[in-house]
Structure 1
Amino acid sequence: MTSTASLTTGAGTRIHGLDSLRAVALGLGIVLHSLMPFHPGAGAWMFSDGQSSPVAQELVNGIHLFRMVLFMALAGYFGRMVLHRRGAGSYLRDRLLRIGLPAVAFWPFAVASTGVVIGIAAALQGWEPPALAPQGEAIDPLLLLSPGHLWFLLVLLQCVVLTLLARAVLLRALGRERGRRIAERIGAALASPAGVLLAAVPYTAGLLLQESIAGGLREPVTVLPTPSSLTAYLGAFLVGWFLHARPGSLQALARQWPWLLGAAAVLLVAASLLQGGSLPPLLHAPVLAVAGWATAYALLAVSVRFLHRESPAMRYLADASYWSYLMHLPIVLALGLALAGLDWPIAVKLLVTWAGTAVLLLVPYDLFVRSTWIGRWLNGRRRPRALRLGRRRVDPLA
Structure 2
Amino acid sequence: MTTSSPERLHALDALRASALLLGVVLHATLSYFPTTGVWLIADTDRSSLMSGLFFVIHAFRMPLFFLLAGFFGRMMYRRMGAGRFALSRLKRIGLPFVSLWPIMFVAFIALFIWGMTTMYGPLPEGEAPPLNWRTVPLSHLWFLYVLLLIYPAAILTALAARIIPGADALGRAVDKLFAMLAGTPFLLVAPAALVAALVFSDSSGPIWFGVRSPDMGLLPNTPALVTFPFAFWMGWMMQRQIHVLDQLKGVWFINLGLAALATAGCFALVGFSPDLMMALSEMKKALFGLALGVAMWGFIFGFIGLFQALMNHHSPVWRYLADSSYWVYLVHLPLVVTLQIWMFDWGLPAEVKLVLILLIAMPILLISYHLLVRGTFIGWILNGRTKPVFRRK
Q: TM-score, normalised by structure 1?
A: 0.88
Correspondent of 1:85 among 79, 83, 87: 79
After superposition, give the CA deviation of every residue in 1:216-243 in whole Å (9 maximum; x if it has no partner): 1112201234332110111111111111
- Cα 1:335/1:343, change in 2 over 3 Å: same
Correspondent of 1:241 among 236, 240, 255: 236
> Which ranges of structure 2 fall in alignment gaps of 5 or more residues?
272-279
**In the aligned structure 1, how far is the partner of 2:56 from the partner of 2:228?**
17
Matches within 5 A, 1:226-375: 226-275=221-270, 278=281, 279-375=283-379
- Stretch deviating more after TM superposition (119-128 or 160-169): 119-128
- Cα 1:111/1:196, change in 2 over 3 Å: farther
Higher relative contact order (CA 8 A, sep 6+): 2
**In the aligned structure 2, how far is the partner of 1:247 from the partner of 1:120?**
49
**In the aligned structure 1, how far is the partner of 2:176 from the partner of 2:121?**
57
- Cα 1:163/1:337, change in 2 over 3 Å: same
1:167 equivalent in structure 2: 158
- Cα 1:186/1:83, change in 2 over 3 Å: farther
> Which ranges of structure 1 fall in alignment gaps of 5 or more residues?
none
1:196 corresponds to 2:200: no
Matches within 5 A, 1:37-116: 37-116=31-110
Provide the aligned C-alpha RMSD in A. Answer: 2.5
**In the aligned structure 2, how far is the partner of 1:183 from the partner of 1:197?**
15
Matched residue of 1:51: which SS?
A: coil
Mapped contact 2:183–2:250 kept (Cα < 8 A)? no
Residue 179 of structure 1, CA deviation: 5.4
Correspondent of 1:4 among 2, 15, 23: 2
**In the aligned structure 1, how far is the partner of 2:288 from the partner of 2:115?**
39
Matched residue of 1:141: which SS?
A: coil
**In the aligned structure 2, how far is the partner of 1:283 from the partner of 1:347?**
31
After superposition, give the CA deviation of every residue in 1:295-334 in whole Å (9 maximum; x if it has no partner): 1111100001110111111111111111111101100000
Correspondent of 1:119 among 104, 113, 123: 113
Residue 111 of structure 1, CA deviation: 3.9
Residue 121 of structure 1, CA deviation: 4.0
Residue 28 of structure 1, CA deviation: 1.0
After superposition, give the CA deviation of every residue in 1:21-45 in whole Å (9 maximum; x if it has no partner): 1111011111011001111122111
The number of equivalent residue pairs is 380
After superposition, give the CA deviation of every residue in 1:324-380 in whole Å (9 maximum; x if it has no partner): 111011000000100011111222211221111112211111111011110010011
- Cα 1:125/1:64, change in 2 over 3 Å: closer
**In the aligned structure 1, how far is the partner of 2:113 from the partner of 2:285?**
38
Matched residue of 1:184: which SS?
A: helix
- Cα 1:31/1:247, change in 2 over 3 Å: closer
Query: Once the two structures are aligned, what percentage of the paired residues are identical?
Result: 34
- Stretch deviating more after TM superposition (267-276 or 328-337): 267-276
- Cα 1:55/1:380, change in 2 over 3 Å: same
- Cα 1:233/1:209, change in 2 over 3 Å: farther
Residue 264 of structure 1, CA deviation: 1.8
2:22 equivalent in structure 1: 28
**In the aligned structure 1, how far is the partner of 2:298 from the partner of 2:124?**
36
Mapped contact 1:324–1:362 kept (Cα < 8 A)? yes
Mapped contact 1:73–1:236 kept (Cα < 8 A)? yes
- Cα 1:320/1:247, change in 2 over 3 Å: closer
Q: TM-score, normalised by structure 2?
A: 0.89
**In the aligned structure 2, how far is the partner of 1:380 from the partner of 1:237?**
21
After superposition, give the CA deviation of every residue in 1:77-105 in whole Å (9 maximum; x if it has no partner): 11111111111222222112111221111
Residue 138 of structure 1, CA deviation: 5.6
Matches within 5 A, 1:375-394: 375-385=379-389
2:199 equivalent in structure 1: 207
Mapped contact 2:74–2:239 kept (Cα < 8 A)? yes
After superposition, give the CA deviation of every residue in 1:137-156 in whole Å (9 maximum; x if it has no partner): 96343466421110011112
**In the aligned structure 2, how far is the partner of 1:261 from the partner of 1:231?**
24
